[in-house]
Structure 1
Amino acid sequence: MQKSNLRRSLTGALALGAVVVLASCAAGGDAPAAAGGESSAEKAGSRVALAYEGGILVLDGVTLETVADLESESFTRLNAAGDDRHVMVTMSEGFQVLDTAAGSADKPELTDVIFDADTPGHVVRHAGKTILYADGTGDTTIFDTADLATSDGLPEIQTVAGVEAHHGVSVILEDGTFLTTVGNADSRNGISVGDASGTEIATSDQCPGVHGEGTAKDEAVVFGCDDGALVYSDGEITKLTAPDQPFGRMGNAYVSETSPIVVGDYKNDVDAEGYLLDAVTLIDTVDKTLDVVDLPDGVEYTFRDIVRGPNDLAYILASDGAIHVLDPETGEIADTFPVVEAWEGPAQWQDPHPAIVVTGDIAYVTEPASNSIHAVDLTTGDVLTTAKLDVTPNEIAPAAGSGK
């Protein structure tokens, strides 16, 4: 059943936050401290992995000091593996495992463990599983996330063979239900859902350009389409149509597994140049609605610039240099935290540009223009620590350690 759409505007709805305090302007500055005790980063022994051209830095999550500098291929993508310690690095041979040593006394290491994949793509973490998708074959590799820390070499894996190769994504739910995108080298048009035995139980071809995945509360799964989104819930697929047609694209989902509302990116001009976007989608997976919220003037972002954080809020790192706190329940900007200098969108999506990731209540924000990284307390907006790097940061992935 298809529900109606709503487009809203937030122009003029900004609420200015407190003045930012710089705790340190160099690596090794004061550690962040939360009110009433240690921050989540201090408790965790956390790490942050940063990719740069030809290498990967591993930083201490509190001081932002470099604890390892590892060689890699010239451009790599980083994704948290899901166990608060390891990171999946996309290399030419497949997904290589980076051990950040978060929560331990070990040294960080780019291990010899590689999950073979022809053109490694999306990494999904859900229900204690890590799910790897190979664009070159359409194959999905699944393993128990916890096994990364205990296996000598590759953990035991399950492989679901792809039907046709395409840039896709898969997810497996608690009961073994397996969802995967459908497409080929020329186009992508929907999803297929199978039960734990492999029997197809639902399918949809009403999602042109299907891209991205997010699992919300009660395992409602959202996939983005060029004209809206698909929601899978309780054995049924619902198509949600964007207010702009024929092109109103959502391609990336930012979720919290304790919130029924998915925040997605949004683009309604197929010919628009560049990668900056100025609106978001709010998808209610219970009511099955898709709303579009126009952001205030000057608040633009890329796919690297939205995360979910404390209280299930959405945190948008915008080109004006601030983190804008969006309440998904109301669609309103609740606060604004200045963090970095204003920046312009990248010429190519792979080019270094500011990014944000979250561990607990701490956000890590890259600033490639100044070769810097900042730790921000999302409960106050304070910049706790800033580190100057000797390289230009690109991709980033957190590892919370044992105290998440």
Structure 2
Amino acid sequence: MRPNHFQRAGSTVLALGAVVTLAACSSGTTTAADSTTSTTAAIQAGPRVAVSYDGGVQVLDAATLETIADFDSEDYTRLNLAGDGRNVMVTTSKGFQVLDTAAGTTDAPQLTDTLFEAEKAGHVVRHSGKTILYADGTSDTTIFDTAALESSDGLPEVESIPGVEAHHGVSIVLEDGTFLTTVGNANGRTGIEVRNAAGAVIARNDQCPGVHGEGTAQNEIVVFGCENGVLVYDKGEITELDAPDQPYGRTGNAYVSETSPLVVGDYKNDADAEGSLLQAVTVIDTVAKTLEVVQMPDGAEYTWRGVSRGPDDKAYIIGTDGAVHVFDPETREFTASYPVIGEWEGPGEYQDAHPGISVTGDTAYVTEPDTDSIHAVDLTTGDVIVSSELDVTPNEFVAVTD
């Protein structure tokens, strides 16, 4: 057990040896041993898309979907936005490594030497100008000012909050310094704890089995998923919202818009079901404190990777039928369907490459691992505006808006 208190600490920067070769220069064959990377297309200022694959990470021009940089990395990495419109956190076995996509500039992307060390690096949360990193191996939380990542030479100053018992968890800090974190240990996860800016516990709930995922809705109302519903934290109070299916009705991921009080969650009501495919979503009204389950359209299933909030606070879901389904949480209805990719089957393991969606502005980016492709969809019309076949099989990805 370790004490619950705040401490300010620095983190280690490791030299990882990534080398960028510009498009104007010659580039040879690279190996994981020398971590050499290449840039393959002329660089234009604008948004970027970062894509992980088995053994590396590519950065694409979001307008053309051409590859502009390719970096060697580990066999399986996860990607999360840092929150500054430029950098991406690459989750590796050593911690959170910073990928500078150079979005909005003509600079070459860089897989930097900057590493936030973490034992079993896990969730990344962005909120109110802060980026929050969680280490599952220790349950430590690392917090820094998001803007400082770009302005600092190396790691920014960080605040470290030691964990108590290690578990797969997540934390968030609100504008007034209120700190919310999951509670659990090696035997399971049970709920959340809330501390004020001075570190004193002001609320706690241990009736959330398998707590997983976090989302902050309008007015800083926070939702955590449970295997029997969700927890809603609102101004010092925690409310339990039961799923309609008991004892098992799991929401494990919350898809939020900070301009909407309505949270869209994934939903699973069969604890013994194999695979990752899901057939329904939840709508959590954080003001009315209600939870409703809505079935997906006939013939369409999805995974945790296939949901993103977008224009008009709607949710956009890439289904196994190959279409992007538009869901309006206000009406609880699916309002449109845009064919984009071929039909696909669910992954054997959740980490396996399978279609995902990432929305920025009026554009949705959809991956199609079966064809090593990525597509950009205009959400105002439903038209595919550009497609690109990659020389790798895309796994995780994020769209980065400058």
Measure the CA separation in 2 of the matches of 1:299 and 1:195. Answer: 43
Superposed, which structure 2 residues align to 1:263-302 within 5 Å?
A: 263-302=264-303
Residue 360 of structure 1 is matched in structure 2 by 361
1:44–1:291: structure 2 CA closer, same or farther, 3 Å change rule? farther
Superposed, which structure 2 residues align to 1:5-404 within 5 Å?
A: 45-401=46-402
Q: What's the CA shift string for 1:76-95, capped at 9, x where partnerless?
A: 00001101100000111100
Residue 36 of structure 2 is matched in structure 1 by none
Measure the CA separation in 2 of the matches of 1:216 and 1:280. Answer: 17
Runs of 4+ that moved beyond 2 A: none
1:267–1:214: structure 2 CA closer, same or farther, 3 Å change rule? same
TM-superposed deviation, 1:52: 0.4
Q: What's the CA shift string for 1:221-256, capped at 9, x where partnerless?
A: 000000000000111000000000000000000000
Maintained 8 Å contact 2:300/2:320: yes
Measure the CA separation in 1 of the matches of 2:200 and 2:376. Answer: 46
Residue identity matched to 2:129: G
Q: CA RMSD for the aligned pairs?
A: 1.1
Q: What's the CA shift string for 1:36-88, capped at 9, x where partnerless?
A: xxxxxxx9710000000001110001011100011001110000110110000
Residue identity matched to 2:107: D
Residue identity matched to 1:290: L
TM-superposed deviation, 1:296: 2.0
- Aligned partner of residue 304 in structure 1, secondary structure: helix
1:319–1:144: structure 2 CA closer, same or farther, 3 Å change rule? same
**Contiguous gaps of at least 5 residues in structure 2:** 1-43
- Aligned partner of residue 191 in structure 1, secondary structure: strand
- Aligned partner of residue 305 in structure 2, secondary structure: coil
Measure the CA separation in 2 of the matches of 1:340 and 1:226. Answer: 32
1:387–1:318: structure 2 CA closer, same or farther, 3 Å change rule? same
Maintained 8 Å contact 2:80/2:124: yes
Q: What's the CA shift string for 1:153-204, capped at 9, x where partnerless?
A: 1000000000100000000001110000000011100000011111111110
Residue identity matched to 1:313: K
Residue 41 of structure 2 is matched in structure 1 by none
Measure the CA separation in 1 of the matches of 2:172 and 2:376. Answer: 31
Measure the CA separation in 2 of the matches of 1:295 and 1:50. Answer: 27
Measure the CA separation in 2 of the matches of 1:82 and 1:377. Answer: 23
**Contiguous gaps of at least 5 residues in structure 1:** 1-42
Residue identity matched to 1:95: F
Residue identity matched to 1:148: L
Maintained 8 Å contact 1:356/1:366: yes
Maintained 8 Å contact 2:45/2:105: no
- Aligned partner of residue 68 in structure 1, secondary structure: strand
Q: What's the CA shift string for 1:131-157, capped at 9, x where partnerless?
A: 000000000000000011110110000
Maintained 8 Å contact 1:210/1:251: yes
Counting aligned pairs with the same residue, the percent is 68
TM-superposed deviation, 1:115: 0.2
Residue 29 of structure 1 is matched in structure 2 by none
- Aligned partner of residue 351 in structure 2, secondary structure: coil
Maintained 8 Å contact 2:171/2:181: yes
TM-superposed deviation, 1:398: 1.5
Maintained 8 Å contact 1:44/1:400: no
Residue 3 of structure 2 is matched in structure 1 by none
Residue identity matched to 2:267: Y
Maintained 8 Å contact 1:122/1:133: yes
- Aligned partner of residue 369 in structure 1, secondary structure: helix
Residue 10 of structure 1 is matched in structure 2 by none
- Aligned partner of residue 165 in structure 2, secondary structure: coil
Q: What's the CA shift string for 1:353-392, capped at 9, x where partnerless?
A: 0000011111111000000000111111111100011110
Residue identity matched to 1:101: A
Residue identity matched to 2:246: Q
Measure the CA separation in 2 of the matches of 1:140 and 1:234. Answer: 22
Measure the CA separation in 1 of the matches of 2:164 and 2:374. Answer: 42
Residue identity matched to 2:168: H
Maintained 8 Å contact 1:46/1:62: yes
Residue 4 of structure 2 is matched in structure 1 by none
Higher RCO structure, 1 or 2 (CA under 8 Å, sep 6+): 1
Measure the CA separation in 1 of the matches of 2:104 and 2:357. Answer: 21
